[in-house]
Structure 1
Amino acid sequence: MALIKIALIMLVQNTVVFAQDITLETAKGTIVGTTSQTVGLNKTYYAFKGIPYAEPPKRFQEAVPKAPWTGTLNCTYDKDVCVQGKNPIIGSEDCLFLSVYTTSLTGATPVIVFIHGGYFTLGNSSYEGKGPDFFLDEGVVFVMLQYRLGLFGFITTEDSANPGNWGLKDQVLALQWVRDNIQYFGGDPTKVTLWGQSVGGASVGYHLVSNRSQGLFHGAIMESGTSLSSFGFNRRISQTILLTATQLGKLSLSIDGLVQQLKTVPYKDLQSAAYTASFAVALRNPLAGLFYGVVSEEYHNKTFFTGRCDTLLREGKFAKVPILLGTTSQEGRFVGSTSPSDVLSGLVRSYFLTFDILPNRLPPPDLATSLLTRSIVGTKIKYHFAGLSPIGLTNDELVRLLSVDQWVRPAVEFARQVIQHGVDVYMYSFSYKGVLGRNTNATGVAHSEDLAYLFNTANGIGSGDDYLTRLRYVRFLCNFAKTKNPTPITDQLFNNTIWTPVKNGTRREINYLDIDRIIQMKINMFDKDIHEYDKLYNDYGIGDYQTY
């Protein structure tokens, strides 16, 4: 039971301000939060920010649950973010916190747990920029968590000495905290939906196939990322470790020896060197994975992930929970770019010019292994998207290639695999271009642009269509969290459209909901592009894939 203490807080510019402190007993001890009102419907809600779910983690080791405490923890403000950035470097290694937002401290309300994106190098659980007000208006308990990033969260020796995946194991610990504590916040631990965006979506995909996550959630939302996306998996962590150690003047005959030395480097020095090294490695071929990611561990008693994800899905070795997944209409475009010439930075664009010289870099990492086969496949992909033009000098063609290769194709394949095992999958494409997304002139919706239609952000005042789209988008997700169906009843808000799950029995016909000014069911997003990759996999694929 919550003990509510109402206090006169302060005088601000000669104005008396009343606020409510909320004192709450949890399984581990007492915390104090705050009371506020949502920006939408002005609903009263309770916010508990920066709750520690783990002890301060030891570097490059698995975190342990937070021990019980005496006294009262102040959870009225956001705590330190996890170490990130370069100029400046911000955050702390003591960063394993989560925040809970709820409109009622009694009852058993469905819960959404959100995992942020940021390429496993950036992001946090702070209210600023991702206020969950609109979800609270829809009547769910909302949890946001932090997990270790960069080298601190994803270093590994790729053996049992340092198995890695620390950031994902942090997420497991947070989910265990939700299971054990969310009832104190009015949440139902048997109705937890795990939602992630970008690499957060990839994280959700890995939780689906991880034995350590089983039973901790009951529905999954993957927004702009799945575990079949190559950007969520790391094949080159040893290169990043070597470059980081070289910058710091560390020498050893083994990766394990270097990792041991990196444990004692001041955290800002380590972050600076690792940041530079990870970018250098990623730019060798960004289509083969970005800065950090999940690795397949040798099996041990605390393994988070082992094996090959595509194979596990195909064999049905994953949690059989309802799934909602989707992409934006133009994932390969940078957020904020509105003209054809600025869809990609000059550095990234110049890299893609190398595909005309080295087409073996263009195919998905696992499609084929021989240089000759990869060159043949790469030439076919390049010609499909750009014809005889240099791929790096194109605009819409290059963005379409990136969108399909990194986001759409893996999402479609994820759906194809899991529906074979009786799982309901609801697919969507977010196509609405509006003011809140700072996009009125571009040809499509960029990666992460749709977040402006989900959270209370600083993107300014939108249009009537913007607010309608936001209400629809949020309600779709909340309906799914409550009933595991985004349209459980006909609703005039959706023009009585019923969102049907992907049909089983066919690889070619994939139905999805197009979220635009007019919402409607459609079939086969990027159909010709997906069909081209299907032919390439059939003709040249090795048949056993990690990512797709």
Structure 2
Amino acid sequence: MAAVKWFASVILFIAGCSASDYSSREFKITCDNGLAVKTNSGLVCGEIRQYKNTTYGSFRGVPYAKPPLGELRYQEPKKAKSWDDYLDASSEGSICAQSITIYGPLMEPKGISEDCLNVNIYVPLAGGEIPRKKRLPILVYVHGGGFTVGSGDSDIHGPEYFLTRDVVVVTFNYRLGALGFLSLNTSSVPGNNGLRDQLFLLRWVQKNGKRFGGDINDVTIFGQSAGAACVHLLTLSPLTQDRSLFQKAILMSGSAVRSFYNYEPEFAATVATSFLTVMGINATDPEVIYQQLLAADTNQYIEASRLLQEQTGLPPFGPIVESIHKGVTRVIDMDPEQLIEAGRGQEIPLLISFTELECGSLKARINETDLPGKLDANSDLALPSVLQTAPNKDELAVVMKQRYFAGANATLNEFVNFCSDSLFKYPAIYTAQRRAELGGAESFLYQFAYRGENRILETLGFDIEAAGHIEDLTTVFKPNSNVSFPEEVVERSFDRVMQDWTVDILVNFMKNSAPATSTVSWPPLSRFLFRYENVVTDSYSLLSLQSDAPTNEMVQFYTDLFNNATTSNPTA
């Protein structure tokens, strides 16, 4: 059960709603046995905890914004209301509204609420106190989950490994699914509220990071999967170009471009129409639709999102390119590819990665939702999401099927290979290629191909022949809910060496803008010799596209596919 509980926390969970500011939180008159910090909203009382030889402060479930309830449901986040006394920060708050049944009953029910904009802060202590003289670099982590599920909770995102390296770790929740990414292309529901939450959290870190011993001028944002796509988008946003909110970015198994979501307004409109139909909203007047969306309860959103995803087999909501609306600050103002070509974000160093067979760890989900069967019935699913609105999509789908699917019916393994290449591997390499070709800050790319002795996904019944989605994440965050492999077992295995080495890669990048370790040099990406690292053990082998023939051929295939696509957007 513990292993099952761990996996569920990677991507999910269930229901209960809070009605007013902080009604679900506890307060104390004193903080005698804890660790107190004064934030810009009030005092918080955290815990003093221990991991190996590191003593650290843990502050969990701290509101970073006003709960987005009632009229605030689709509004930009607002400053958290100030409180008296000490907020008890010893446990995580509710996670944002999402459906457990999308992935099956993998874990016992966990508190869900729209009152979910919480942040968790972890800081190594010096002599039992928060460091004041030497500020520590800050790592802000954006969780994945297809823009639809997930949380920043420590059951999967345990900060312990980073804390031994003198890093302040920040994890948090943001609005998901229709509450975070539904767009009606109106000022009332413009889309991208999940991204707005992330930006608001980064501003919160600027206001409060020093109070937790962090260096607010040395912030690295790190995302995995959909979280990586968000992080990449944040580097391209017009709201971050002064580099005051963060200075470096890590993209693990995700990219803003040519990836697993469609950012075109046309696609968002189709999703919105389908969602409103499932919700039983038949009005045509935008204001009436808006009021009906406000009146619907949380469970209606959860159920409608579940049904919509069951129809498609894929998460329907995601970030979009926004139109201009009075009173709304645009987070994404142009096609992300155009922004890259224009030089947006090029001064932010990037560390980009993908795993050997990303979708290998998604086999059960792919099989359960019969995505191969859905592809047989709908050729659009044979295409990367952003090409599904291309006028010549049918021609492109034929080309894709000829490459990946040999027979009349797609098989599970064929779909896994297609999924891994098109949704993860190619987008990562393309993103790295464009950075190398266009110049800017030094950036780095690696493939995670380590197959652990104690593979956590295997404890969940996954039969994976290569390193899959999430496996790299478990080497840098401690999976606290998984007790299948006790700490002493991992300590005796080579997995511990890999954990230390992989964490060093990320921390060195945070501190030095380069991931090189004491034992290995690591050249940045170059337009003249495009090389990436293949991480198999606590070392790596340098690969170039020229020497890695299968990858080179795959990249050329997708390059041709995108070059041959016509667009429904004349400005794209």
Task: Return closer, same or farther for 1:250/1:367 CA change in 2, 3 Å cut-off.
Answer: closer
Task: Return closer, same or farther for 1:112/1:500 CA change in 2, 3 Å cut-off.
Answer: same
Alpha-carbon RMSD across the aligned residues, in angstroms, is: 2.7
What one-letter code is carried by the residue in structure 2 that aligns with 1:511?
R
Aligned mate of 1:210, from 217, 234, 237: 237
Aligned mate of 1:432, from 450, 457, 468: 450
Aligned mate of 1:53, from 48, 64, 68: 64
Task: Return closer, same or farther for 1:164/1:536 CA change in 2, 3 Å cut-off.
Answer: closer
Alignment match, 1:43: 54
Q: Does 1:297 align with 2:315?
A: no
Question: In structure 1, how many angstroms separate the alpha carbons of the residues matched to 2:389 and 2:297?
Answer: 40
Q: Does 1:130 align with 2:157?
A: yes
Q: Does 1:378 align with 2:405?
A: no
Question: In structure 1, how many angstroms separate the alpha carbons of the residues matched to 2:275 and 2:31?
Answer: 52
**Could you list the runs of 4 or more consecutive aligned residues of structure 1 that deviate by over 4 angstroms after TM superposition?**
86-90, 365-371, 539-547
The runs of 5 or more residues in structure 2 that have no matched partner are: 1-29, 102-108
Task: Return closer, same or farther for 1:295/1:542 CA change in 2, 3 Å cut-off.
Answer: closer
The correspondence of residues 126-165 of structure 1 with structure 2, limited to 5 A, is 126-165=153-192
Alignment match, 2:20: none
Identity %, equivalent residues = 26
Give TM-score, length-normalised by structure 1.
0.85
What one-letter code is carried by the residue in structure 2 that aligns with 1:85?
S
Question: In structure 2, how many angstroms separate the alpha carbons of the residues matched to 1:262 and 1:161?
Answer: 11
What one-letter code is carried by the residue in structure 1 that aligns with 2:76?
E
Contact 1:202 1:232 in 2 (8 A): no
The correspondence of residues 329-344 of structure 1 with structure 2, limited to 5 A, is 329-335=356-362, 344=367
Aligned mate of 2:542, from 521, 537, 545: 521
Alignment match, 2:370: 347
Contact 2:372 2:415 in 1 (8 A): no
Task: Return closer, same or farther for 1:417/1:71 CA change in 2, 3 Å cut-off.
Answer: same
SS in 2 for 1:516: strand
Task: Return closer, same or farther for 1:540/1:53 CA change in 2, 3 Å cut-off.
Answer: closer
The runs of 5 or more residues in structure 1 that have no matched partner are: 8-19
Task: Return closer, same or farther for 1:136/1:544 CA change in 2, 3 Å cut-off.
Answer: farther
Listed one character per residue, the Cα deviations across residues 199-225 of structure 1 (whole Å, up to 9, x for unaligned) are 000000110111223420000001000
The correspondence of residues 1-400 of structure 1 with structure 2, limited to 5 A, is 20-38=33-51, 41-57=52-68, 58-87=72-101, 90-104=111-125, 105-106=130-131, 107-214=134-241, 215-235=244-264, 236-254=267-285, 256-280=287-311, 282-283=312-313, 286=314, 290-300=315-325, 302-318=329-345, 320-335=347-362, 344-345=367-368, 347-354=370-377, 358=379, 361-367=381-387, 373-386=392-405, 388-390=406-408, 392-393=410-411, 395=413, 397-400=414-417
Question: In structure 2, how many angstroms separate the alpha carbons of the residues matched to 1:546 and 1:464?
Answer: 54
Q: Displacement, 1:175?
A: 0.2
Q: Displacement, 1:297?
A: 0.9
Contact 1:314 1:418 in 2 (8 A): no
Listed one character per residue, the Cα deviations across residues 48-71 of structure 1 (whole Å, up to 9, x for unaligned) are 101111111211111112243332
Question: In structure 2, how many angstroms separate the alpha carbons of the residues matched to 1:379 and 1:273?
Answer: 32
Give TM-score, length-normalised by structure 2.
0.82
Listed one character per residue, the Cα deviations across residues 449-495 of structure 1 (whole Å, up to 9, x for unaligned) are 222212221153246221111111111111111111111xx52xxxx
What one-letter code is carried by the residue in structure 1 that aligns with 2:411?
L
Task: State which drifts further: 185-194 or 326-335.
Answer: 326-335
Alignment match, 1:10: none
Question: In structure 2, how many angstroms separate the alpha carbons of the residues matched to 1:242 and 1:539?
Answer: 29
Task: Return closer, same or farther for 1:44/1:515 CA change in 2, 3 Å cut-off.
Answer: same
